[in-house]
Structure 1
Amino acid sequence: MTQVLDATRDRSGGYKVDVSRGERIGRVSSEWFSRPADERYLSLSELFAAVQIRTERSRTRTVESAAIRVEASRDDAERLSLVLPGKDTPIIPTHWSFGQLASLVGAPTAYLRQLPAPLAGINLQYGLASHRAEQVKTLETEDGRIELRAVTGPDYGRIFDHELVAAVQRIAGNGTGDTRWKVPGVLEWSTRVYHPHVDVTKDTTTLYASDRDVFLFLVDDLNPIEAGRLPDGSPDV
């Protein structure tokens, strides 16, 4: 909880707080600091539209692990691709899905990543061919090229990012103040005054999504919960 030093709001609607109290969530500031401009969104509607397009470009299917063919070229020591049953178009594994495939056949992922693609391909192909055949579910995304995003068990239940955003929208609307839940305001560190009413811009937003994840942070900062009174009689919120 944060101690409100002066419950009377100034003309801008801000109020003074004691930042030494309460809990600091470092994940939020880390996301704010690291996200590039093209991963920042100004509303939940805008975010939903972006991640829905990604879902529309994705597909899942179930294949036999032993039927996966690994291809690598001597001309490109770093490029390794896969050919899945029913489609001849090469699929490029991501860092994550390559690790999942290696784990599936019991191969040391870190070691395979250090090898030239042809050698890594030989080892991975041997593992897929000799390992007990089983069904796996793949997640593939096409955006200029086809990427293998994930390899899981056939019964794996996936929640797509647009489904998560849609669930939040049912509670928070557009996330810009049309409901109680909104993008946070800004703390003016020099005066320790928190301003809940600010324009949502690329610099102030807390709605993020890359080509493989989504991160949302919303607050109900206009309706703080008063837990009691501090020794000086001011509200403890």
Structure 2
Amino acid sequence: MRRVLLLCSIFGVFSLSAIPARAQWAVFDGANFGQNVLQAARALQQIDNQISSLANQAQMLVNQAKNLATLPLSRLSTLQSTISQTTALLTQAQNIAYSVQSVEQQYQQAYTSISSGMSDSALFSQAQTRWRNAVGGFEDALKIQAQVVGNIPSDSSAMTQLVSASQSSAGALQAAQAGNQLLALQSRQLSDVIAVLSANGRAQELQQAREAAEEADGQAQYQHFAQHDAYAPTVITMFGPSGN
């Protein structure tokens, strides 16, 4: 009987040890959780920094694109056209062109070659040439003045457009291009002033040279007249030798 009870007790112990435990308690590790949260925050900060860096790079590219954008407005062709028109008028100068060789040759022929040995017809022909040169010089000056005055409205419009484009430019290149075109406009206007001064000076110099040549022409005519024999009075018989 005792053996039976002992065996039963041993079997019962083995039976109880063979039954698995169904209930367990979960253990919370606070230190590990804090480290995980800190690592996640650091990773999030790195991502935010990368996003900010990419945004700055994108803005830099946008600014570079603005700085490299060309100005949509250009008045250079108009400026070149007006310069060509003024230059064409200067090349059409009458009689004495704007050329050093031409001035030397024609001035020598019409203004400094006057002598008493020239015939009256030659002196008259030279006087006519000098008169035509003076009149043509004044006409050329008037044409140049009319051309320059006619450029004022287009210059005013171009200046307004270029200043507006410069003030509203998207980048440095557009502002620089607008400034360059304004400088080109000022250079064109300066060339107009030089053309007017040159034409007016040419006309005045031709007139003064004509006046100086007229004095030399008058002296040559006087010397030419003085070379003839003086007048000698003679007796003229009007009613025949009988005196009736």
Q: TM-score band (shorter)?
A: under 0.3
Structure-2-length-normalised TM-score? 0.25
More helix by share: 2
More strand by share: 1
Structure whose alpha-carbon radius of gyration is higher: 2
